[in-house]
Structure 1
Amino acid sequence: MFKLVSILLITLLFASPFCLEAQNSRTERSSFYLKGNVVESETNKPVSRVNVEISGGAYTTTNIQGDFSINAKIGDELIIRSVNFNTVYYTVKDQQHLTVKVENAMEIPKASSVRKKSVDVFKSYIDSAKIYLKKDAKKSIEYVTKALESVPGRSATAAQNQIAFETLGDINLYYEQQDLAIDNYNRSLLSGNNIDIRIKLAGAFRKNKNYQESITEYSALLKSSLSNYQKVQVYEGLGDTYKAINDGSRSVANYQQGLAIATKHSITPKITDLNSKIGEVFAQSGAVEEAESYFGNSLNLSKKEGKKRAVEEKNKVADFYNQNRDFEKEIQLREETLDEIKSLDDGTIEADQNSPLTPQRQNYKIANAFVGQEKFKEAIPYLEKSIVEADKKEDLLVKKDATRKLSELYRDIGEYDKASKSYERYANVVDELYAKKDQELSQAARFSKEITLRQTRIASLENDRKLNESRYKLAVENQELIQKNNLVQKWVIGSLILIALLLLYTAYTQYKSVKQQKYANNQLSLKSLRTQMNPHFIFNALNSVNSFIASNDERAANKYLSEFSQLMRSVLENSEEDFIPLEKEIDLLELYVKLEHFRFKDKFDYNIRVSEKLNLNEFVIPPMLLQPYVENAVWHGLRYKEERGKLEIEFEQVDSETAKITITDNGIGRKKSQEFKTENQKKQKSKGMGNIQKRITILNEMYKDKVDVLVENVYDNEEGTRVVLILKKD
């Protein structure tokens, strides 16, 4: 009697599952007051005035201590939001006190702080968007937005727009928003033709069920210049599209075209994929032997690519054996798949509950294969394993199917108590799944809305330019209407403005021309003065050689000429330069003073001092600027001195922008030197000094007080001469 009652109970349970679900739902979803608090994740400090609400229900805020209390039910979605942190979504699981830890919204560096390297910043943001593509769609799109905003100027370049909208399309395609992906790929292609993006666009057309558009795009691509890998991609894509519209013959033909190219050029991953896909098409059309042959190829090839690829292929071939009711081979492959899934490193297979490569799903499919063989008792352990794994991974879909199947098996083998308990578990899972699906629908709607809003923001960045152009056109049209009402007045005003602009332009052009001419004249004058400088210097030096020869001192003359030739080589090397480093000028000066000292050994001693603080590489000076001053000191000051004279040349740095050069001699002085001149010498002006003064005047005019010169007596009796040159860096 008890057994008969149990049978009736099981029958009733299976006949009206929704009644039980509704009853459980009413029991489980009774309301209660959920208490909790909101704290910062790093400091654990309470956060006050936070918005706390139940989706579609009650609302409250946290107090000063960060505490809240709100009317809720099991399965409700709790939303905690504030402008100070990222919104937190939480599913109510029980009545326990809840602590919500929040983090400040991630700050992305402002583009203005890195304008100098805008290209690098743009690339950095795009790379970040790609990193977050499969982790967080909102963050990924936010990085694309920041990438476009980081570009200086009014709008991004065509290349940058192409990359940004391609990345957006990739995000949309990954999250199965095919219509948005198509729109973004098309936007990307507006910035220039790109084969890879066109291949992605054709794939997006297929996934959005725009099959004809997909075929058209793939066919057009075949007429383009493609790499071998791209050809394989296009033929594979065509095969996928024909497969989607159940055109098996064309699907296989395109797959085989791609396979031939992949095999010829050793594109190994594609060889495996295409063998597998050809096997799938043959399997769908009922050509079992052909399907098994290609699946055998793909299985062997996948083992060479790595465990993950091998596991994926084994699962696919196992599905093929299931369709053909070859359960023994299916079970063998799934057992191998289970072992390999366990041996894979963490993170090798993505944590996607919908992926067939999970222990709970493989165990469930093995159980189904045993059921297909009517081996119910062998199936039960696999269903129990599936339930345990599904419970760990919170995979309610598999848990639901497995618990129901387990209940049915217990019923079929006559263990009605276990069947009843399993069905109760099944009913509870259905209720939980119902609540979860309701929440997922809400989250999906919100996710889609947020993604659309964020993408709209990006699209608006590109549309701003078009909008500005439209506004400009509208303003022009408005202006034309106004001009029609007052044509004469506008014409007069416009003519006056035009005349004024022409006059200003003419004045500016003339000013610029005069300035350029003056600059050219100055350059010519400097060159001329430098040209005069060299013969003057050579003439004086040759006089020295002549004096040695006149005194029959051939050895001294030869030595002097040797030193002189070295000096002349350096002088001539620098003769075409406007400026030379100060260090070179010092080297020239040392050579020159050495020559003069060689001639007038008994007349003077000299000392050249360069301050250690003076950075010689930072200052430049016109070549042969200092030599005439030194020459004057020797020839007109020290040469006529009865006792041994002294020549001091000092280089020092006044500040970061200024250097000071001092040439000091204790000679007879400028006044007495003038008395020693002959009448003929008095009539002639000094070529060297006159030349130098002109050069300094022109240089100061061209380079804004580049050199400042001061000549003064050293002693009160007007003996000795000091020349001070102030040299500016710029």
Structure 2
Amino acid sequence: MRIIIKHICFLWIVLGTTCMFAQVYNESDDTEPRFTVRGSVIESDTRDPIPHVNIEVNGGAYTTTDFTGDFRIEVKKGDELVIRHKDFETVYYTILNNERITVKVESNEEETEYKQKKFSRRNPNQFKSLIDSAETYLKKDAKRSIEFIELAFIESSSVKENANTYEVLGDIYMFWKQYDLAVSNYRISDQNIKTNTVKLKLATAYKQNNNYQESIETYNEINKKELSNWQLVQLYEGIGDVYLLTQNYQLSIDNYQKGLTVAQKHLITPKITDLNSKIAQVYNVKGESQKAEGYFNRSMKLASTQNKKRAIEEKVKVADFQSANNNYSNEIALRQEALEDISDIENDSILDNESPLTSQKQNYKIGNAFALQNDYENAIPYLKKSIEEADSKEDLIVQKDATRKLSEIYRDAGQFDKALIAYQSYVGLMDKLYIKKEQELSQAARFSKNIVSTQNRILSLESDRALTESKFQLTTEEAKRQKLIIYSLIGGVLLLLITAFLMFKYIKQQRLANNLLALKSLRSQMNPHFIFNALNSVNSFIASNDERTANKYLTDFSLLMRAVLENSEEDFISLEKEIELLELYTKLEHFRFQDKFDYSITIDENINVQDFIIPPMLLQPYIENAVWHGLRYKKTKGRLEIEVTQTASDEIEIMITDDGIGREKSKVLKTMNQKKQKSKGMGNIKKRVSILNEMYKDKVDVFVDDFQDDEDVGTKVVVTLKKD
């Protein structure tokens, strides 16, 4: 009963104090001391004063700058000064004290002049440089980053560069949480050139803009086979996020699991940690805390192997999970561990107040956990520490929450005087927070307005460029027609030249075909000629009843015929094969006319007979003539010599000599029948040599002359062969 009475008394005290404090605060708001602030507006480059600039206090006084650029205006602390002029963008400044204000502005003239230039690229690296600059300022200064994008649109000269520019613009809007504009720009980029990277970004932007069905459709449109392993994990994770937001928990888990499988298979450690953590969060939302705890423990263990910041993040998530499940002791232990690590990373990097890892937030949550266990003695120091840190870091939200919780603890502990002081502080913080939120909303509205204005300027710039390019195309149309006529004439000349070349090539091919046909015909004439002479020899053996000799002769003759027929279709054969044929043929002729001549075949040992090629059956007719028309009619036993020597590195000489009766006596001794028949062997040889030299550029040379000055002058045949 006493406790109830105490609570009622405390409630009346708090209500009364609140009303009094509100009244005092409102009165102090009205009686806030005013003062006159002086300032000037100048150009940043030239430092020239800018006259007639509109100077206005938000909802209050108004003035303009004089010809020296100076102004005076009455304000109070916390007022927002609005500085407007037609030649520069509006400047907003919050009054903190009565110090003199100097506003340096940049004129838009230079930018306007740049945009009015022709759409031609003077420097091929300019576009890339502007895109790099936009990405550099992306997270620092949205306004400046977008200015670089505007200039990049001017420098852009291809569909690919347009797509790249819209993609970066989408990234800027995405970072600054302008999700609808991010969607628009990613879609334009995707329309220019379709890439999986932009598709994934578009799906994420749809999700952030609460277009959940569009997000899932975009994810499903992506061909998974074209994605890298990292992108595939991103895709499954993104789909899981969308299903979680639409409360389709099982599909969310299924997609997270698919992403986890890919990440584990390809050792993508950061994503393994993230997906374990997300699966745990879904199970927690579903009320399956045991499964959630298992995945959280796994994610926390994995995070500990990564960098310290990631490990802290996971500890904080698990601590939130423990808090939601009323496991306050575990929560406190995890947050205390996190606090120790946070002090380390704060030395290396700055955590903004939005981060869940700030020490003021963790101290507040530890104090809250102790309070929920009714352990006020341990709760109070953590809450005081949270308030102190939040105050030093100007984190009004945490300071407000911690102050309110401290007031409630003092109240529950029966320390009403301290509860009252804490509550009064809480009310004051609420008012400060309200003012701050108003300013943030105003700034956000201005930011959104500027962003939309910039987007419209970019779209307008794109339209202007398209119009300029159309005009340029119209002005160059006539020049194109003239060029077309010139190119047509050049094309006609080229066509005639090509036709002439093709005709020349065709004639050359036809001549080659005719030559090949002629060679084939000559070879076909050579074979019967040779066979006829050989069969005459066989006939003479049979006529003389020398069957054994005829049989032996026929055996060697068959070997020779086989070799001749095998080579009959070739234009050239190796010198080695030709010599083998000559040896076999000369052996056969000597076998028949042993009492008429002796022979020798000499080959220079330095010659590699496989390196040289020769038309088949080229030398045989000369040997045949030497035997049949020279040596056969010699009164004494004659001599036939075949000598192969090398005259140069790429040239050999084949000399066939006999000491027979000679060409002139041979003509005289011809029978009437022989005179009636025209000799085809030597004629065919000459024709073959002529055709081959025409086809293969003077490869074979034949020279025929008398061998000596004796009574039997004989004959000398010199055949010169050149290597390929």
Task: Give the TM-score normalised by structure 1.
Answer: 0.60
What does the per-residue CA deviation read over 1:569-609, in whole Å, with 9 as the maximum and x for residues that have no partner?
A: xxxxxxxxxxxxxxxxxxxxxxxxxxxxxxxxxxxxxxxxx
Paired position in structure 2 for 1:639: none
After superposition, what is the alpha-carbon deviation per residue over 1:512-563, rounded to whole angstroms, capped at 9, x for unaligned? 999xx9xxxxxxxxxxxxxxxxxxxxxxxxxxxxxxxxxxxxxxxxxxxxxx
- In structure 1, the partner of 2:266 is 265
Match of 2:200 in 1: 199
CA contact (8 A) 1:38 1:62 kept: yes
Are 2:328 and 1:323 aligned?
A: no
- 1:7 deviation in Å? 7.0
Residue 35 in structure 1 maps to residue 37 in structure 2: yes
Give the whole-Å Cα distance in 2 for the aligned partners of 1:302 and 1:508. Answer: 68
CA distance in structure 2 between the partners assigned to 1:132 and 1:58 by the alignment? 36
- SS of the aligned residue for 1:69 comes to strand
Q: 1:193 to 1:116 in 2, by over 3 A?
A: closer
Give the aligned partner of residue 418 of structure 1: 418
* Secondary structure of 1:354's aligned partner: coil
- Does the 8 A contact of 1:314 with 1:334 survive in 2? yes
Q: Corresponding residue for 1:652?
A: none
Aligned to 1:428: 428
Q: What TM-score comes out, normalization by structure 2 length?
A: 0.60
Is the Cα–Cα contact under 8 Å of residues 75 and 436 in structure 1 kept in the other structure?
Answer: no
Q: Distance in 2 between matches of 1:133 and 1:232?
A: 25
Aligned to 1:662: none
- Asked if the contact 1:33/1:69 (under 8 Å) is kept, the reply is no
Displacement of 1:104: 4.3
Structure 2 matches for 1:381-392, cutoff 5 A? Answer: 381-392=381-392
- Whether 2:125 is the aligned partner of 1:120: answer yes
Residues 37 and 46 in structure 1, CA contact (< 8 A), matched pair in contact too: no
Secondary structure of the residue aligned to 2:210 is: coil
Residues in 2 aligned to 1:405 and 1:507: alpha-carbon distance in whole angstroms? 87
Query: Displacement of 1:445 after TM fit?
Result: 0.8
CA distance in 1, matches of 2:118, 2:344: 47
Aligned residues of 1:54 and 1:76 also touching (Cα < 8 A): yes
What is the alpha-carbon distance in structure 1 between the residues aligned to residue 492 and residue 78 of structure 2? 82
Separation of aligned partners in 1, 2:88 and 2:260 = 52
Matched, 1:78 2:69: no
CA distance in 2, matches of 1:15, 1:259: 58
Query: Mean Cα displacement is larger for which, 324-333 or 342-351?
Result: 342-351
Instruction: Please give the alpha-carbon distance, in whole angstroms, between the structure 2 residues aligned to 1:504 and 1:314.
Output: 72
Structure with more contact order per residue of length (Cα contacts < 8 Å, sep ≥ 6): 1
* Runs of at least 5 residues in structure 1 that lack an aligned partner in the other structure: 476-497, 518-730
* CA separation of 1:285 and 1:502: change in aligned 2, threshold 3 A: closer
Alignment of 1:207-606 (within 5 A): 207-223=208-224, 225-344=226-345, 348-351=349-352, 353-464=353-464
Based on CA coordinates, which of the two structures has the bigger radius of gyration?
Answer: 2
Matching of residue 148 in structure 1 with residue 133 in structure 2: no
What residue in structure 2 maps to residue 168 of structure 1?
169
User: Which of the numbers 47, 54, 58 marks the counterpart of 1:55?
Assistant: 58
Note the residue ranges of structure 2 that are not aligned, 5 or more in a row. Answer: 497-724
Give identity over the alignment, percent. 44
* 1:54, distance to aligned residue in structure 2 (A): 1.4
Q: Which residue of 1 aligns with 2:698?
A: none
Return the letter of the residue paired with 2:219. Y
Structural mapping, 1:670-681, within 5 Å: none
User: Which stretch of the first structure deviates more once superposed, 287-296 or 461-470?
Assistant: 461-470
Q: Which residue identity lines up with residue 413 of structure 2 in the other structure?
A: I
- Cα pair 1:322 1:369 within 8 Å, conserved: yes
SS at match of 1:249: helix
> Measured at CA, do residues 16 and 216 of structure 1 come closer, stay the same or move farther in structure 2, by a change above 3 Å?
farther
Whole-angstrom distance in 2 between the partners of 1:92 and 1:504? 67
Q: 1:92 aligns with which of 90, 95, 101?
A: 95
The residue type equivalent to 2:234 in the other structure is: Q
Alpha-carbon distance, 1:380 to partner: 1.2
- Determine the C-alpha separation between the residues in 1 that align with 2:312 and 2:394: 22
Equivalent residue number for residue 132 of structure 1: 137
Does structure 1 retain, via aligned residues, the 8 Å contact 2:390–2:398?
Answer: yes
What CA distance in whole angstroms lies between the structure 2 residues aligned with 1:504 and 1:266?
A: 59
Contact 1:360–1:385, Cα closer than 8 Å, also in 2: yes
Cα distance in 1, alignment partners of residues 445 and 170 from structure 2: 19
Contact 1:25 1:431 in 2 (8 A): no
Q: CA deviation at 1:378?
A: 1.2
Query: Does the 8 A contact of 2:43 with 2:49 survive in 1?
Result: no
> Would you say the 8 A contact 2:41–2:65 is kept in 1?
no
Once residues 463 and 36 of structure 2 are traced to their aligned partners in structure 1, the CA distance between those partners, rounded to angstroms, is 47
Q: Aligned-pair distance for 1:71?
A: 3.3
Structure 1 window deviating more from structure 2 (160-169 vs 217-226): it is 217-226
CA deviations on 1:231-270 (whole Å, 9 max, x unpaired) are: 1111000100000011111111100100000110111111
In the alignment, structure 1 residue 186 sits paired with structure 2 residue 197: no
Is the contact made by 2:42 and 2:69 (CA closer than 8 Å) also made in structure 1?
no
Q: 2:533: which partner in 1?
A: none
User: Tell me, what secondary structure is at the counterpart of 1:209?
Assistant: coil
What does residue range 577-656 of structure 1 map to in structure 2 within 5 Å? none
Change (3 A) 1:438 1:504: closer
What does residue 72 of structure 2 align with? 69
Root-mean-square deviation (CA, aligned residues, Å) is 3.9
**Would the aligned equivalents of 1:239 and 1:254 in 2 still touch at CA under 8 Å?**
yes
SS in 1 for 2:222: helix
Query: Match for 2:414: what amino acid?
Result: G
2:159 equivalent in structure 1:
158
- Give the partner amino acid of 1:71: E
**For residue 126 of structure 1, what is the amino acid of its counterpart?**
I
User: How far apart are residue 15 of structure 1 and its match?
Assistant: 8.0
CA distance in 2, matches of 1:44, 1:27: 43
Partner secondary structure for residue 369 of structure 1: helix
